[in-house]
């Protein structure tokens, strides 16, 4: 058992994320007080105690009969590093991302590049301070260098717009997003669309009055193509009108589920200037699709991709998930090869994350929750195949509860990297987000900080308290 007491509360959250990396190796007990710590700390256990010591932090770590104390600086990274080293020594497993538990590791590289550090020094710091594995350092630095021409110099008048359509035809078993089942909540869709369009006009007006402009639009969800062709026409016509006079560099619709995509809807998108769409198979294995609650077949994906290619969009992205229940390395290779035959310009490789609110959290077996190198091998095999087709990493992020503590990586051919995705991850540009559950990010690049402004998550709250949403938009 790992018994922990953290005196200085400000470290509790980040350290609890770090402890999760070792959860498979040890039961973890967090003691609220020092007395509780000593009551629980037994002969078989490993103990870890953090106490304030003037300007410094005293860390005591070790087995019951052999603990050692040291004083370290109270700086966040230093504390995490020392705790990680103690746990690694006790429980052996290495995390590919070392002490990094945050969502956006590439930001660290951008910050070091901004400070004028040389790449050799950056790599050294990533290895020694953060304990990141060499292949992940390669990925981080490759992504940062590919992103920089798209993100710098920061154009602080440019704003991206995100519109959320929080409806899906069925619920995927791994999903923890508060999406609404079309069969149950579809009756609200027309009303929702009216409100979303009103929020769109209102927000773009605010953006103009602030002397800024929109140059990038992303319609995501949920599944935006749960809208009928007529509803899609209404929304995109409103976007055309609201955004008139702006030069839009990228316009994405995350079509997502092939069972909702029709040639009529694609024609509407094409007519209104959508130039990037996502068709998301997740896997080309029919048994897995069935198990995760996606009501489409691999052949549906192929049919939709033929339609998409015939109508012609600049960029088509396809999302895959590595580590889906029951899948092997061979399945991952098969899926990657099969989607490469469909010639997407972009592919996003996700690692399965089993979130608490997802149905899969109740269904997955213990083996399916463990990576044990399996998912890393899948990501590596898919990476090799994609690179062989000239599709290379351009953005990445991490989530909690990912198998093997791995990552999600967006790949694209040259000229097809998504501006929205890079801006979203690196938090140097303002994103104004509309719709239920949408979260705007107002960035202050000179101060290297941003503020989040969240809309209500629930559909009913969004509809019934819409005036409050517009009030918040005024503050933005």
Give the binding site for ligand SF4 (CB under 6 A).
168, 171-172, 175, 177, 179, 221-223, 256-257
Which of residues 256 and 410 has its CB atom nearest to ligand SF4 in the complex?
Answer: 256
Residue 135 Cβ, how far from ligand SF4 at the closest point, in Å?
A: 28
Which of residues 256 and 393 has its CB atom nearest to ligand SF4 in the complex?
Answer: 256
Which of residues 177 and 213 has its CB atom nearest to ligand SF4 in the complex?
Answer: 177
- For the chain, state the CA radius of gyration: 24
Residue 172 Cβ, how far from ligand SF4 at the closest point, in Å?
A: 3
Cβ atoms 303, 185 nearer than 8 A: no
Q: 26 φ, ψ to 5°?
A: -155, 145
Closest-approach residue to ligand SF4 (CB): 175
Residue 180 Cβ, how far from ligand SF4 at the closest point, in Å?
A: 9
Percent composition of the chain: helix, strand, coil (DSSP 3-state, to 5):
45, 25, 30
- Cα–Cα dist 182/249, whole Å: 32
Residue 167 Cβ, how far from ligand SF4 at the closest point, in Å?
A: 8
DSSP 456: P
Which of residues 280 and 315 has its CB atom nearest to ligand SF4 in the complex?
Answer: 280
Residue 183 Cβ, how far from ligand SF4 at the closest point, in Å?
A: 13
**Who contacts 421 (Cβ-Cβ below 8 Å, separation ≥6)?**
394, 395, 410
Three-class secondary structure of residue 305 per DSSP: helix
Residue 188 Cβ, how far from ligand SF4 at the closest point, in Å?
A: 16
Which of residues 175 and 379 has its CB atom nearest to ligand SF4 in the complex?
Answer: 175
Residue 396 Cβ, how far from ligand SF4 at the closest point, in Å?
A: 19
- Cα–Cα dist 250/276, whole Å: 7
Which of residues 90 and 175 has its CB atom nearest to ligand SF4 in the complex?
Answer: 175
Which of residues 29 and 182 has its CB atom nearest to ligand SF4 in the complex?
Answer: 182
Torsion of CA 245, 247, 250, 251, to 10 degrees: 10
Q: Of how many residues is the chain composed? A: 476
Strands (DSSP E) found in 109-237: 158-165, 167-168, 180-181, 213-221
Strands (DSSP E) found in 398-456: 408-412, 430-434, 439-444, 449-454
**Helix (H), strand (E) at residue 146:** helix 134-151
Q: Where are the alpha helices (DSSP H) in 318-465?
A: 329-340, 360-363, 366-369, 374-388, 419-426, 459-464
Six-digit token string for 16: 């609890």
Which of residues 141 and 179 has its CB atom nearest to ligand SF4 in the complex?
Answer: 179
Residue 153 Cβ, how far from ligand SF4 at the closest point, in Å?
A: 35
> Terminal CA-to-CA distance of the chain, rounded, Å?
48
CA distances from 373 to 135, 180, 195 (A): 14, 35, 47
- Cα–Cα dist 458/304, whole Å: 31
Which of residues 141 and 225 has its CB atom nearest to ligand SF4 in the complex?
Answer: 225
Residue 252 Cβ, how far from ligand SF4 at the closest point, in Å?
A: 15
Residue 430 Cβ, how far from ligand SF4 at the closest point, in Å?
A: 24
Which of residues 221 and 404 has its CB atom nearest to ligand SF4 in the complex?
Answer: 221
């Amino acid at each position: 058992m790992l018994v922990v007491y953290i005196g200085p509360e400000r470290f509790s959250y980040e350290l609890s994320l770090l402890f999760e990396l070792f959860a498979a190796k040890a039961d973890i007990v967090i003691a609220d007080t020092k007395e509780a710590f000593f009551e629980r700390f037994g002969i078989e256990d490993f103990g870890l105690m953090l106490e304030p010591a003037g300007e410094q932090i005293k860390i005591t770590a070790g087995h019951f009969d052999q603990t050692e104390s040291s004083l370290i600086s109270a700086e966040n990274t230093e504390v995490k590093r020392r705790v990680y080293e103690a746990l690694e020594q006790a429980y052996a497993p290495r995390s590919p991302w070392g002490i990094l538990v945050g969502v956006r590791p590439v930001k660290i590289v951008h910050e070091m590049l901004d400070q004028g550090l040389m790449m050799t020094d950056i790599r050294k710091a990533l290895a020694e301070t953060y304990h990141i594995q060499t292949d992940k350092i390669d990925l981080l630095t490759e992504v940062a260098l590919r992103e920089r021409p798209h993100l710098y110099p920061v154009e602080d008048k440019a704003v991206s717009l995100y519109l959320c359509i929080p409806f899906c035809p069925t619920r995927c078993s791994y999903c923890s997003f508060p999406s609404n089942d079309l069969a149950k909540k579809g009756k609200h869709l027309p009303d929702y669309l009216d409100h979303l369009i009103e929020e769109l006009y209102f927000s773009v007006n605010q953006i103009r009055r602030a002397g800024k402009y929109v140059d990038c639009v992303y319609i995501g969800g949920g599944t935006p193509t749960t809208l009928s062709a007529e509803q899609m026409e209404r929304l995109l016509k409103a976007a055309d009108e609201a955004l008139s006079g702006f030069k839009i560099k990228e316009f994405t619709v995350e079509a997502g589920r092939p069972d909702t995509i029709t040639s009529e809807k694609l024609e509407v998108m094409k007519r209104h200037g959508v130039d990037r769409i996502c068709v998301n198979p997740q896997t080309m294995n029919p048994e897995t699709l069935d198990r995760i609650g996606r009501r489409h077949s691999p052949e549906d994906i192929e049919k939709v991709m033929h339609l998409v290619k015939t109508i012609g969009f600049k960029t088509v992205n396809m999302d895959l998930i590595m580590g889906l229940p029951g899948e092997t390395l061979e399945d991952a290779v098969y899926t990657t090869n099969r989607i490469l035959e469909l010639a997407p310009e972009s592919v996003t490789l996700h690692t399965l994350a089993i979130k608490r609110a997802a149905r899969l959290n109740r269904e997955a077996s213990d083996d399916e929750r463990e990576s044990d190198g399996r998912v890393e091998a899948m990501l590596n095999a898919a990476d090799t195949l994609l690179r062989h087709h000239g599709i290379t990493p351009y953005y990445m992020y991490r989530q909690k509860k990912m198998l093997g503590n791995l990552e999600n990586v967006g790949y694209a051919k040259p000229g097809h990297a998504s501006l929205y995705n890079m801006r979203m991850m690196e938090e140097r540009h303002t994103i104004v987000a509309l719709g239920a559950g949408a979260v705007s990010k107002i960035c202050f690049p000179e101060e290297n900080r941003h503020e989040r402004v969240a809309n209500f998550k629930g559909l009913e709250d969004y509809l019934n308290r819409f005036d409050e949403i517009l009030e918040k938009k005024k503050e933005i």
